[in-house]
Each structure stands twice: as C-alpha cells, then as structure tokens.
Amino acid sequence: MDFSIIVNEYQFYLEGLWTTTWLVALALLFGLLIALPAGILRSHENWLIKGPIWAYMYFFRGTPLLVQLFLIYYGAAQFDVLRESWLWYYFQEAWFCALLAFSLNTGAYTAEIVRGVISTMPAGEVEAAKAYGMSRWQTLRRIILPNSLRRALPAYSNEIIFMIHGSAIAGVVTIVDITGAARVVNARYYAPFEAYLAAGILYMCLTFSVIYAFKLWEKRYQHI
Amino acid sequence: MKKITLLIALFTFAFGTAQAKEWKQIRIGVEGAYPPFSQTEEDGSVTGFDIDIANALCAEMQAKCTLVKQDWDGIIPALLGRKFDAIIATMDITEERQKKVAFTNKYQHIPARFVALKGADFVATEEFMTDKKVGVQRATTMDLYISDNFPAAKIKRYGSADEAYLDLKAGRLDYVMADSAAITDGLLMKEDGDKFAFVGPELNDPQWFGYGAGIAIRKQDTDLAEQFNKAITAIRANGTYQKIQDKYFTFDVYGAE
C-alpha cells in the first residue's frame, strides 16, 4: 500500500475532478432543457408530436450509456458525409461526443420523471385552475409545473447521482475524468487499489455534495 | 519426540517439493487486441505471434497451458492477483515493471515508431510536438515515452492500439505511436492503410523501451522463469522460433542475442 503516489499525481486527479464536474453539470443542464418539453409533450394527444418523443425516450432508456457513447464517438466517424461537414469540428472532440451522449441519455430519463409527476397531478387542482378561467398554458405554468417539479426532486437527485457515476465511462474515449485519472495513475504505477480508491473517494465527495444540496432544497419546500 | 521429527520431516518434504516444483499446469495471460502478436478471431479464439510462442514454449516444457484473455491495462494486476501465472503479451522488460514483476529473458525485440498520414511532417522535438494529438495505448512503454518526452503534446490514451488506429483514420489524431510490427499489421496492411506511413526514426532507448519483450511472472516464481528461459533457448535452437517468426514477419524480431 503506497498512497504517496496519489499525493504525487494529485494534479491528474484535480484535472479529472474538474472534467467530471463540468461534463456532468453541462449534460444535466442540457438534459433538463430536453426533458421539460419532452416530458410535457409526451402526454400530447397528437401522435406526430408524442411519437418521436416516445421513440427518443425508448431508445435512450433502452440501451446502455456505453453503447450510446460508442455509437456517437466511433460510429459517427464512419460516415464521410459527417466527416466532411462542419459538424465534424465538434464530433472530432471526445468531450463533445461524451457531452452529447450524456445529455441525450439523462434527458430521456428525466423526461420520464417529468411525465410521471405530471400524470400523477391531483385532478382537483387542474379542474380548479380551469374553473378560474386559466388557459392551458397558464395552468401549466402556474399550477402543474410548480407542483410536479417539487415532487420530482427526490427522483431527480437520483438521476443526478446516476449521471455522476455513469460519467465514469467517459474515460473509454480518451477523456481524463476522475476514472481516467485513476487509469493513468494505475497504468504508471501498477497500483490499482490506491489509484481507484482515490477515484472512489472523489466520486463520493461529489455525490454527497449533491445529496446535501438536494436535502436543503427539499427542506425549503416543506416550509412553504 | 518422534512425532515432532516426523512432522518436521513432513513439512520439509511438502515445502521442499513446493519450491522445486516443476510447473505442469500454467495459465498464461494474453491480450488479444495487438495484431499480429495477439488478436481475437471471429470465433473468440486468440491467435498471433505471442500465442504461437506460448504454445511452442508449453510444448517444449511439456506443460498443459490455458490461455486467459485480459485487457492490457489490467494485465499486471491480474498476474499479481493470481488470475494467471505468466504474461506473454509483447511486454517490454522495463525497470518500472520490474518493481512489480519478474521477467524471463527476452523472446523478441521490436522498435517502436510513430505513424501518421502519408506526407505528414514530424520532428521529434518538444516544440514541434506541442499541442499535436498523439494516440497511444495506455500503460505501454510508448505511453511513458511520450508522457516523459513530449508533455506538451495532447496525449490521448486508449485501451487498445486498435482504437487509436480508428481515431487516426477518423482524423482525431495526428500521430499514433506503437510497436512498428503492430502498426504494420494492425494499420498499414489493413483497409485504407496505404494512406498512412511511418514517420521519424525507430525508437528503442532502453530507458523507456527496456531490453526487449519478455515473459512476466510473479517475483517469487523463479522456478517458472527458469523453466521458460530453458524453453526459449530450446525453441530458438531447434528452429521452432524461426518457423513462427516467418509466419508473421519478414525480418528478425529477436534482435541481437
């Protein structure tokens, strides 16, 4: 057991921590931007609207994140059309492919959470809004969303944690995230226990910060 | 008293045989993603130079060998964790690795090289390599060489050399560094390989690339190393080695004696 190597190579881990943090944070932000409209429109009557959303959610919840990442990173490079277009400027970067895969993945899961909480909305509240003469948009904005999103918090905090842990696969496409840092250190010193334990501790710190933040947030709502 | 003497005798016997044990069953760790040394066939079996050498050595030692496939960056921990007893995977003998494992004598020695698109510039200076995207297999001697000599380059580390070739073809990398024979077989002779060529000199500075590739074993298994060394000498002498080499290469992969 030799933990001095972790201390010596701390800059790898710091870099990895930073990469994991911004990658996951941006993916969650984009995911949320996808999930809100997708989750709401998922219950739309028109098949032309809910069909594509259903297909998107079905695909991204039905396949492993690793497969999605491989499809986007190695799969996209196979098409000359893409490689010769301006899009390749982004697709050639590993971070972009990872961000895209992560955003679409968490977007699909979060959309399902949004759909779930909206469909379990107390019918009385919606009817009351209608009785007040609110339009559909007003009902959505004033009644449905505030109520359902509050109830979505516990499930969503879970999704964030899954995303943090799921991001560990970014390393397979050369990104040096926390796991990537551990692999570099392990590769150099052949000390898997020390290298991955340090990574585990960093993930734990990240996860507990998220759990703590959500606890505070949920508490705030209880007092309203 | 008699009983104790008997016990001691038994112990020495048991211990004595364990130490001078001749290995009859050996599990060998191989990689399966580093053609032509080791590659996985469509049916899941592994073939290649390393595999043929492993089988020849086992036949020479009259030992029963089982091949175990293991990803490269976990191969030394797996050896230490007793998942297998020896590694035959074109592993260069380096000082860093010798801190963890012991090696037999070398069984081949092939220089490393850079490969790039045909006509690409290449100067092996830190200045030129700054911000150049270089792909390398994680935890190899090449990885160490680039990390130490060109820290300002954008080093991309892959699980296998095959993945690095994919990204070189896709244009995500400027250079890939690997064993020259592996590049020839894994990239240059494959589809679209004619678009690529070696750049820069052959690299075999012992400080990074060691003294050729040997068979890695756990440090305490000196008897196994001895057994392998004898077998290597034997297949070199009886022509088996030559036969295997000719199957894969047109040049001498053993290097100087």
Contact indicator for A181, A139 with CB cutoff of 8 Å: no
Supply the pLDDT for residue B17.
47
Query: Is residue A186 less than 8 Å (CB to CB) from chain B?
Result: yes
Q: How many residues does chain A have?
A: 224
Residue B212: DSSP 8-state: B
Contact indicator for B135, B255 with CB cutoff of 8 Å: no
Query: Is residue A83 less than 8 Å (CB to CB) from chain B?
Result: yes
The gap between the terminal CA atoms of chain A, to the nearest Å, is 51
**Beta carbons of A192 and B77 less than 8 Å apart:** yes
User: Does residue B165 sit in helix, strand or coil?
Assistant: helix
Q: Is the ipTM of this complex over 0.85?
A: no
* Closest approach of B72 to chain A, Cα-based (Å): 9
Contact indicator for A167, A23 with CB cutoff of 8 Å: yes
Q: In whole angstroms, what is the distance from residue B38 CA to residue B27 CA?
A: 16
Indicate the domain borders of chain A.
4-222
Number of domains in chain B: 2
| Probe site for chain A from B92, B148, B156, B157 (most A CB atoms < 10 A) | B157
**Beta carbons of B100 and A188 less than 8 Å apart:** no
Supply the pLDDT for residue B96.
84
Average pLDDT taken over every residue of chain A = 92
- Residue pairs spanning A and B at CB distance below 8 A: 49
Q: Chain A contacts of B73, Cβ < 8 Å? A: 183, 186-187
The backbone region for B212, taken as left when phi is positive above 0, alpha when psi lies in -120 to 50, beta otherwise, is: left
Question: Residue B77 belongs to what H/E stretch?
Answer: helix B75-80
Residue B227 in domain: yes
* Beta-carbon count within 10 A of A152 CB: 20
The pLDDT confidence band at residue B4, using thresholds 50, 70 and 90, is low
**Beta carbons of A88 and B171 less than 8 Å apart:** yes
* Beta-carbon count within 10 A of A160 CB: 21
Residue B98 burial (CB < 10 Å; 0-12/13-18/19+)? middle
| Probe site for chain B from A8, A15, A174, A179 (most B CB atoms < 10 A) | A174
The residues that bridge with B108 in the sheet, in sequence order, are B213
- The shortest CB-CB distance from A190 to any of B76, B171, B172 is to B76
Structural tokens at position A58? 């079905």
User: Does residue B203 sit in helix, strand or coil?
Assistant: strand
**Beta carbons of A172 and B156 less than 8 Å apart:** no
- The shortest CB-CB distance from A183 to any of B73, B80, B97 is to B73
* Closest approach of A92 to chain B, Cα-based (Å): 6
The pLDDT confidence band at residue B80, using thresholds 50, 70 and 90, is very high
B120 and B83 together in one domain: no
Q: What is the mean pLDDT of residues B131-137?
A: 94
B230 and B153 together in one domain: no
B122 and B155 together in one domain: yes
B100 and B35 together in one domain: yes
Q: What is the mean pLDDT of residues A35-62?
A: 93
Q: In whole angstroms, what is the distance from residue A81 CA to residue A84 CA?
A: 5
Q: What is the mean pLDDT of residues A83-91?
A: 88
Q: Is 70 exceeded by the pLDDT of residue B1?
A: no
B64 and B105 together in one domain: yes
B99 and B138 together in one domain: no
The pLDDT confidence band at residue A137, using thresholds 50, 70 and 90, is very high
DSSP string, chain A: --THHHHHTHHHHHHHHHHHHHHHHHHHHHHHHHHHHHHHHTT-S-HHHHHHHHHHHHHHHHS-HHHHHHIIIIIGGG-HHHHHSTTHHHHTSHHHHHHHHHHHHHHHHHHHHHHHHHHTS-HHHHHHHHHTT--HHHHIIIIIHHHHHHHHHHHHHHHHHHHHHHGGGGGGGT--SHHHHHHHHHHHH--HHHHHHHHHHHHHHHHHHHHHHHHHHHHHHHT-
B117 and B195 together in one domain: yes
What are the pLDDT digits (tens) for B167-181?
999 999 999 999 888
Residue B3 in domain: no
| Probe site for chain A from B83, B101, B138 (most A CB atoms < 10 A) | B138
Supply the pLDDT for residue B12.
52
**Beta carbons of A192 and B74 less than 8 Å apart:** yes
Q: In whole angstroms, what is the distance from residue A38 CA to residue B241 CA?
A: 63
Q: Is 70 exceeded by the pLDDT of residue A224?
A: no
* Beta-carbon count within 10 A of B44 CB: 8
Residue B99 in domain: yes
Contact indicator for B199, B120 with CB cutoff of 8 Å: yes
Query: Is residue B69 less than 8 Å (CB to CB) from chain A?
Result: no
Q: Chain A contacts of B166, Cβ < 8 Å? A: 74, 77
Q: What are phi and psi of B100, to 5 degrees?
A: -105, -40
B100 and B220 together in one domain: yes
**Percent of the residues in chain A that have a pLDDT greater than 70, as a whole number:** 99
Q: Is 50 exceeded by the pLDDT of residue A70?
A: yes
**Beta carbons of A187 and B143 less than 8 Å apart:** yes
**Beta carbons of B139 and A187 less than 8 Å apart:** yes
Q: Chain B contacts of A9, Cβ < 8 Å? A: none
The pLDDT confidence band at residue A223, using thresholds 50, 70 and 90, is low
Q: What's the CATH code, domain A4-222?
A: 1.10.3720.10
The residues that bridge with B117 in the sheet, in sequence order, are B196
What are the pLDDT digits (tens) for A112-128?
999 999 999 999 999 99
- Which residue type does A19 have? T
CA A203 to chain centre: 15
Residue B217 in domain: yes
B125 and B242 together in one domain: no
Q: In whole angstroms, what is the distance from residue B165 CA to residue B177 CA?
A: 10
**Percent of the residues in chain B that have a pLDDT greater than 70, as a whole number:** 92
Residue in chain A lying closest to B134 (CA): A174
**Beta carbons of A174 and B158 less than 8 Å apart:** yes
Interhelix angle A145-166/A94-119, rounded to 10 degrees, is: 140
Residue B256 in domain: no
Residue that the structure tokens 């019918």 belong to: A123
Q: In whole angstroms, what is the distance from residue B90 CA to residue B34 CA?
A: 9
CA A99 to chain centre: 9
Residues 6+ apart with CB under 8 A from A20: A164, A167, A170, A177, A178, A202, A206
Using CA atoms, how far residue A185 sits from A5, A176, B34, B178, in Å, is 8, 11, 22, 20
* Beta-carbon count within 10 A of B248 CB: 16
Q: In whole angstroms, what is the distance from residue B200 CA to residue B178 CA?
A: 12
* Closest approach of A59 to chain B, Cα-based (Å): 25
Residue that the structure tokens 């004033």 belong to: A142
Which structural domain, as residue segments, surrounds residue B161?
112-209
B196 and B219 together in one domain: no
What are the pLDDT digits (tens) for B210-254?
888 999 999 999 999 999 999 999 999 999 999 999 999 888 888
Residue A8: HSE in the Cβ half-sphere, 13 Å Cα cutoff: 11
| A2 compared with B78, residue with greater pLDDT | B78
Query: Is residue A190 less than 8 Å (CB to CB) from chain B?
Result: yes
Residue B12 in domain: no
Residue B1 in domain: no
- Which residue type does B255 have? G
B223 and B164 together in one domain: no
Supply the pLDDT for residue B16.
46
* Closest approach of B138 to chain A, Cα-based (Å): 7
What are the pLDDT digits (tens) for A154-211?
899 999 999 999 999 998 898 999 999 998 888 888 888 999 999 999 999 999 999 9
**Beta carbons of A184 and B74 less than 8 Å apart:** no
B104 and B215 together in one domain: yes
| Probe site for chain A from B172, B208, B218, B219 (most A CB atoms < 10 A) | B172
Supply the pLDDT for residue A84.
86
A117-146 b/e with 16+ CB inside 10 Å = b? bbeebeeeebeebeeeebeeeebbeebbbe
Say which CATH number the domain at B199 has.
3.40.190.10
Q: Is 70 exceeded by the pLDDT of residue A18?
A: yes
User: Closest by alpha carbon to A104, among A189, A27, A25?
Assistant: A27
Residue B50 in domain: yes
